[in-house]
Amino acid sequence: MIYLDHAAATPVSEKVLKAMIPFMTDNFFNPSSAYLPAVRVRGAYEEAKNTIANFIGAKGNDLVITSGATEANALAFTAVSKTGKILVLETEHASVLENVKKYNSKTVKVDRTGLIDLIDLKEKIDDNVELVSVSLANNELGTIQPLAEVSQILKEIRLDRLKRGVTTQLLLHSDASQGIALLELNVARLGVDLMSLNAAKVCGPKGVGALYVGHGVRLNPITLGGGQERGLRAGTENVAGTVGFATALGAIKDHSSATRKKYTTLVENLKNELIKARVEPIFLGNSKHQLANFLPVCFPGLDAERLIFKLEEKEVYVSTGAACSASKGEPSHVLRAIGLTDKEITGSLRISLGVLNNEDNIKEAGRIIRETVNDEYRRING
| Percent of the chain residues past pLDDT 90, beyond the cut | 90
Range of the domain at 182: 14-253
Alpha carbons 340 and 348: distance in angstroms, whole number: 10
Given a contact cutoff of 8 angstroms between Cβ atoms, the answer to whether 141 and 290 are in contact is yes
Last residue of a domain, one of 232, 253, 274: 253
CA dihedral 155, 156, 157, 163 (to 10 degrees): 110
CA dihedral 57, 322, 300, 266 (to 10 degrees): 50
What average pLDDT score do residues 155-174 get?
97
| Percent of the chain residues past pLDDT 70, beyond the cut | 97
Looking at the structure, tell me whether residues 271 and 206 fall in a common domain: no
What average pLDDT score do residues 358-363 get?
97
Lowest mean pLDDT among 227-241, 248-262, 353-367: 248-262
Looking at the structure, tell me whether residues 69 and 205 fall in a common domain: yes
pLDDT at site 227? 86
How many domains, the chain? Answer: 2
Looking at the structure, tell me whether residues 99 and 203 fall in a common domain: yes
If you ran DSSP here, which 8-state letter would residue 116 be given? B
Number of H helices, E strands in the chain: 14, 12
When pLDDT is cut at 50, 70 and 90, the band that residue 323 belongs to is very low
Plot region of 218 (φ>0 → left; ψ -120 to 50 → alpha; else → beta): beta
When pLDDT is cut at 50, 70 and 90, the band that residue 381 belongs to is confident
Beta bridge partners of residue 64, listed in sequence order: 211
If you ran DSSP here, which 8-state letter would residue 185 be given? -
Q: Which uninterrupted H or E stretch holds 156?
A: helix 147-163
Q: For residue 289, give the nearest of 116, 115, 92 by alpha carbon.
A: 115
When pLDDT is cut at 50, 70 and 90, the band that residue 329 belongs to is low
Note the maximum CA span of the chain: 74
Looking at the structure, tell me whether residues 267 and 244 fall in a common domain: no
What average pLDDT score do residues 169-185 get?
95
If you ran DSSP here, which 8-state letter would residue 279 be given? S
Given a contact cutoff of 8 angstroms between Cβ atoms, the answer to whether 155 and 115 are in contact is no
Angle at 219 between CA 216 and CA 225, to 5 degrees: 130
Looking at the structure, tell me whether residues 249 and 324 fall in a common domain: no
Catalytic residues: 324
Alpha carbons 295 and 287: distance in angstroms, whole number: 10
Given a contact cutoff of 8 angstroms between Cβ atoms, the answer to whether 291 and 178 are in contact is yes
Looking at the structure, tell me whether residues 309 and 265 fall in a common domain: yes
Residue 258 above 90 pLDDT?
no
pLDDT at site 331? 79
Question: DSSP H helical segments within 91-146, as ranges?
Answer: 94-97, 118-124
Looking at the structure, tell me whether residues 91 and 225 fall in a common domain: yes
Span 333-355, pLDDT tens digits: 999 999 999 999 999 999 999 99
The pTM assigned to this predicted structure is 0.94
Q: Provide CB contacts within 8 A for 121, sequence distance 6+.
A: 87, 108, 132, 150, 153
The SS3 assignment for 197 reads strand
Average of per-residue pLDDT values in the chain: 94
- In a 13 Å sphere around the CA of 269, the CA atoms on its Cβ side amount to 19
Last residue of a domain, one of 227, 253, 279: 253
What average pLDDT score do residues 258-267 get?
93
Alpha carbons 127 and 338: distance in angstroms, whole number: 28
Domain of residue 28, CATH code: 3.40.640.10
Q: What are phi and psi of 187, to 5 degrees?
A: -60, -35
Alpha carbons 105 and 173: distance in angstroms, whole number: 14
CA dihedral 287, 290, 292, 296 (to 10 degrees): -80
Q: Provide CB contacts within 8 A for 48, sequence distance 6+.
A: 239, 242, 243, 245, 246, 247
Buried b (16+ CB within 10 A) or exposed e, 73-92: bbbbbbbbbeebbbbbbbbb
Given a contact cutoff of 8 angstroms between Cβ atoms, the answer to whether 66 and 72 are in contact is yes
Looking at the structure, tell me whether residues 229 and 367 fall in a common domain: no
Alpha carbons 187 and 182: distance in angstroms, whole number: 15
pLDDT at site 255? 65
Domain of residue 6, CATH code: 3.90.1150.10
Looking at the structure, tell me whether residues 38 and 58 fall in a common domain: yes
Looking at the structure, tell me whether residues 213 and 360 fall in a common domain: no
CA distances 104 to 63, 80, 107, 267, Å, are 26, 10, 11, 40
Looking at the structure, tell me whether residues 344 and 206 fall in a common domain: no
What average pLDDT score do residues 145-151 get?
97
Looking at the structure, tell me whether residues 204 and 285 fall in a common domain: no
